[in-house]
Each structure stands twice: as structure tokens, then as C-alpha cells.
Amino acid sequence: MTSALVSLRGVGVRFGPTPVLTGIDLDLASGEAIGITGPNGAGKSTLLNVISTLLTPTEGSVAVFGGPVRRRDLPQVRRRIGMSGHEPGLYPELTLLENLTLVERLTGEVHMSAMQVLEVVGLAGAAHRRASAASAGMQRRIDLGRLIMTRPQLILLDEAQAGLDSTARDIVDRLIHRTCDAGGGAVVVSHDRSVLTRSLERIVEVQAGGVS
């Protein structure tokens, strides 16, 4: 048996009357990084939310880390999943350092201190700047910094490169490689194919609710 990190079978999602995804089968092996692309509104982000366990599909089954996700295991499973999405979800009143320290305190099992992470993402000089005063690109770097800090086995990136300069994009590439080398996996969503071809083995196209 291959060690599948993620396995979706016949997954369908419906928001109210509208089907967003239908009959999705998707596998992600250990050490693999895949890209998901498709036009606006095709359901890419929804697919990523299903993989993240945050969204329970209307139909079909989801297995993450080799088995179906049971309710009581949810916190443990989720701790091994890291997602960086459209919105960084920082607290605007807190400084960049405080935003990372919060993660450190809440999880209690980080691999790098908040200050070290700031150095890695090139924001040590802005540690005490409030998130509200940080640019979109800086906030995005902090969001990626959270993944560097908690080292999840499965990383899910939703248009994570948007708004990043080329050096910061290297953070994303390095993060993907390191995660896969350690036996984890990555799913990268982008509507821009050129972003995906940089470092990914396989690209899945989502077209109007299905995959090809």
C-alpha cells in the first residue's frame, strides 16, 4: 500500500442549491507536491478546504494521513495540516512578532522561535510593527512564517504566491521542498499555471466542479 497522505473518493460539495464540486477523486502520495489550477469559480479553494478538513463534503469520502477523519481526532489531525490562504488572518492590533508568538504559545510545540522565523522570512527589522501597518506582502510572509514555525506534514497553499516578490516566492518553493523531503506533501492552488510549473510534479485541472 502506498502511503497516501490524502485520498478523496467521489467528493461532492454543494453550497445551498449550487453544486461546487462533483465526483472528485484525488490522491496525494507522501513526498508529493501537486498543483491545482482552473478558472475563477471552478471550486479550487473549496477543494482545498475539503482537504484541510475544515469543510465536510456533501458527498464522498475524505481520508487524510491514511484514514478517515474522526471527530475526536480532529485537533491532532489538524495540527499536522498547515494552510496559507487568500487572507493571512493576522490580528491587526498586534505586532508581527506578537502574531507569531501567539502561535508559539497556543501550540506549545514549535520548531523555531518567533524571532528566528522573522529572520527567515526577512522581517526581523519589522518585528515590532503592528500587522495593520504591514503591507500585504509582509502579512503574507508572516502567514508563511507560521508554516515554517509549526512544520506541518501537509501544506495547503491557496494563491499563496499572490502579492509576493520573487525572493519571497522562494520561501514558498523552499517550504514545499522541505515538507516533501520530510515525507509530507503539498497542494498548491493557483489560477496561474506558470506559478505551479516552477516546482510541482503534477498539475490537476479543476473545471466546473470536476477534475481532469
Q: In this complex, which beta carbon is closest to other proteins, that of residue 95 or of residue 161? A: 95
CA atoms within 13 A on the CB side of 78: 13
DSSP state of 159: S
Binding pattern to other proteins, positions 132-151, x when CB under 8 A?
--------------x---x-
Residues 115-134 that bind other proteins (CB under 8 A): 130
CB of 197 to other proteins, least distance (A): 22
Residue 198 is a binding residue for other proteins (CB under 8 A): no
Residue 185 is a binding residue for other proteins (CB under 8 A): no
In the chain, where do the E strands start and end? 4-15, 18-29, 33-37, 59-64, 67-68, 81-84, 154-158, 185-189, 202-207, 210-211
Q: Using CB under 8 A, which of 105, 125, 166, 212 touches other proteins?
A: 105
Q: Using CB under 8 A, which of 9, 19, 27, 162 touches other proteins?
A: 19
Angle at 77 (CA atoms; ends 73, 78), nearest 5 degrees: 115
Residues in the chain: 212
Binding pattern to other proteins, positions 27-46, x when CB under 8 A?
-----------xxxxxx---
Q: In this complex, which beta carbon is closest to other proteins, that of residue 16 or of residue 125? A: 16
Q: Using CB under 8 A, which of 31, 85, 122, 163 touches other proteins?
A: 85
Q: In this complex, which beta carbon is closest to other proteins, that of residue 60 or of residue 89? A: 89
> Crossing angle of helices 136-150/166-181, nearest 10°?
20
E strand or H helix at 66: none
Sign (positive or negative) of CA dihedral 63, 15, 191, 86: negative
Residue 96 is a binding residue for other proteins (CB under 8 A): no
Q: Using CB under 8 A, which of 59, 63, 78, 203 touches other proteins?
A: 78
**210-211 and 202-207 strand pairing:** antiparallel
Place of cell 510541482: 200
Per CB under 8 A, residues contacting other proteins are 15-20, 22, 38-43, 52, 54, 56, 58, 71, 74-76, 78-79, 81-83, 85-91, 93-94, 98, 102-103, 105-109, 130, 146, 150, 206-209
